[in-house]
Structure 1
Amino acid sequence: MNVLLVLATILFLLMVLIGGKKGARSFFALLLNFGVLFFTILFMTDPNADPIILTMIGSTLISCITLFFINKINLKTKAAFLSTFITIVILILFIVIVADISMIQGFGKEEIEEISMFSMYLGVDFVKIGASMIIMSTIGAITDVAISVASPMREIFFHNPSISRKSLFRSGLTIGKDILGTNTNTLFFAFFGGYLGLFLWLKELSYSFGEIVNSKVFSVEVITILCAGIGIALIIPITSWITAYFLVRKREHNESI
């Protein structure tokens, strides 16, 4: 506990020193997002609750906190929020189908020994739980890409207010192309770095390469990475189009951006 407190204090001080008020808001936003995740998971244990609906509510709250609490309410955060929401809806429908077909729900045989003392009759839909887990794992990256595309697009429009909607959309795609590769790699190394112990465990179990690839515990992580990458790829054109539409519409109505 002392180590956690010390690390949290160091993080808070660095965020305030480097980011000022926005850094402080970012730190408190992190705590708020943790609270949202905690209560979302808590409500999922209720057999009468729908994990997909809870995930949509939780993801929406996380997006609101990340975008509006940190960056305040303005055109770029509104565009990023709408883009994030649309992408999440598309991704949830896709992930539920993928989770059902790939049968990644539940626990792998490698985990059964550790949890064999507990009852498996939880009364929850593990297909939806698996889909919710993947969405929750990708919401941060999706929101980050959305604001990373919307913010420079607003800056481009500010310095070139006569730019056409089509040219502004293309600028957003160009920005997104630079973000796509780095964010996809970040997700890849973050997930695999966090599950380095899993590889060591599978190695100790003398798994062959084929057994590792086909094991449920490994497949879940790979599917999560791929779905997160799909979400990042999807949100770039969606954010580019929505931001371009909002900015040009503001210009046509002579409103402040």
Structure 2
Amino acid sequence: MNILFVLAAILLLLMCMIGGKKGARSFFALFLNFGVFLITILFMTNTRIDPYIITLSACAVISYINLFFINEVNSTTKAAFLSSIITIVLLLLFIVLVTENTMIQGFGKEEIEELSVFSLYIGVDFVKIGASVIILSTIGAIIDTAMAISSPMREMFLHHPTINKKELFTFGINIGKDILGTSTNTLFFAFFGGYLALLIWFKDLSYSFGEILNSKIFSAEMITILCAGTGVALIIPITSVITAYFLVNTREKEKIN
């Protein structure tokens, strides 16, 4: 337990030294997000509430914490928040279709032995839980991408106040092109880093390449990565459009007044 406090203190010190007050808020936001996840899990066991509603509510709260609590309320965070919510809703509709057709919900045969002593009749729709897991795994990448596009667009607008919507939108898209590859690679390597033990286990079990691809555990994680990459790609034009519209319209309203 002592090492956890030491590492947390080191992280807090570095974040405060580099980020100042914003770094400190970012540190405490980690615990707030953790609390949101715990509350989400608690409500997921309540069969009277739809998991999709719980998931969307959790994503909205997480977006609020990571955007408004850390970076305060401004034109950048407003555009990023709205873009994130729209993307999450669209992505949820897509993920529901994918989850229902691929049937990745539930547990794979590799996990049955460990779970055999537990009852799986808990009254929860595992299809909805599977879709919710993918969404919650994606929200972080979506928020980061939205902020990474909205913030430079605002800087461009401040330095070039006469820029029009089309030029500002193109600027946002160009930024998105630069970060799209790195964002998707981050998701990809996060999977292989987190599931390296699983891949080694597959090797010890002498799984063929086809058996690995058809394994429910592997397929579920790969679908999560692909859906997360879809969300990252989708957030780029949405954020560019909303930010450009918001900034230019605000300028025009100020001219009228």
Same fold (TM over 0.5): yes
Structure 1 stretches of 4+ with a deviation exceeding 6 A read none
- 1: distance between equivalents of 2:151 and 2:226? 26
**How far 1:8 sits from its partner (Å)?**
1.2
Aligned amino acid, residue 206 of structure 1: S
Tell me which residue corresponds to 1:68: 68
- The Cα offsets for residues 170-206 of structure 1, whole Å up to 9 and x where unpaired, read as 0000011001011111111011111101101111111
Tell me which residue corresponds to 1:131: 131
Aligned amino acid, residue 238 of structure 2: I
Tell me which residue corresponds to 2:100: 100
- 1: distance between equivalents of 2:2 and 2:89? 40
- 2: distance between equivalents of 1:3 and 1:210? 42
- 2: distance between equivalents of 1:52 and 1:5? 35
- 1: distance between equivalents of 2:4 and 2:123? 34
- The Cα offsets for residues 28-51 of structure 1, whole Å up to 9 and x where unpaired, read as 011101100111011101122211
- 2: distance between equivalents of 1:42 and 1:5? 26
- The Cα offsets for residues 188-229 of structure 1, whole Å up to 9 and x where unpaired, read as 101111110110111111111100010000001100000000
Q: Which moved more, 1:209-218 or 1:195-204?
A: 195-204
- 2: distance between equivalents of 1:226 and 1:143? 17
Tell me which residue corresponds to 2:163: 163
- 1: distance between equivalents of 2:37 and 2:49? 15
- 1: distance between equivalents of 2:35 and 2:253? 40
Aligned amino acid, residue 245 of structure 2: Y
Tell me which residue corresponds to 2:57: 57
Aligned amino acid, residue 6 of structure 1: V
- 2: distance between equivalents of 1:104 and 1:171? 39
Aligned amino acid, residue 15 of structure 2: M
What TM-score, normalized to structure 1? 0.98
Aligned amino acid, residue 52 of structure 1: Y
- The Cα offsets for residues 140-185 of structure 1, whole Å up to 9 and x where unpaired, read as 0000000100000000000001011101000000011001011111
Aligned amino acid, residue 100 of structure 1: E
Aligned pairs for 1:143-182 (under 5 A) are 143-182=143-182
- The Cα offsets for residues 38-92 of structure 1, whole Å up to 9 and x where unpaired, read as 1101110112221110000000000000000000000110000000000000000
Tell me which residue corresponds to 1:245: 245
What TM-score, normalized to structure 2? 0.98
Task: Return 5+ residue gaps in structure 1 as ranges.
Answer: none
- 1: distance between equivalents of 2:163 and 2:129? 45
Q: Which moved more, 1:225-234 or 1:10-19?
A: 10-19
Of all paired residues, the percent bearing the same amino acid is 69
- 2: distance between equivalents of 1:46 and 1:202? 35
- 1: distance between equivalents of 2:57 and 2:227? 20
**How far 1:2 sits from its partner (Å)?**
2.1
- The Cα offsets for residues 221-248 of structure 1, whole Å up to 9 and x where unpaired, read as 1000000000000000000000000000
Length, aligned pairs only: 255
Aligned pairs for 1:2-41 (under 5 A) are 2-41=2-41
Q: Which moved more, 1:246-255 or 1:74-83?
A: 246-255
Aligned amino acid, residue 170 of structure 1: T
- 1: distance between equivalents of 2:128 and 2:6? 37
Aligned amino acid, residue 63 of structure 2: S
- 1: distance between equivalents of 2:7 and 2:20? 19
Task: Return 5+ residue gaps in structure 2 as ranges.
Answer: none
- 1: distance between equivalents of 2:101 and 2:209? 23
- 1: distance between equivalents of 2:214 and 2:73? 46
- 1: distance between equivalents of 2:222 and 2:75? 35
Tell me which residue corresponds to 1:187: 187
Q: Name the Cα RMSD after superposition.
A: 0.8
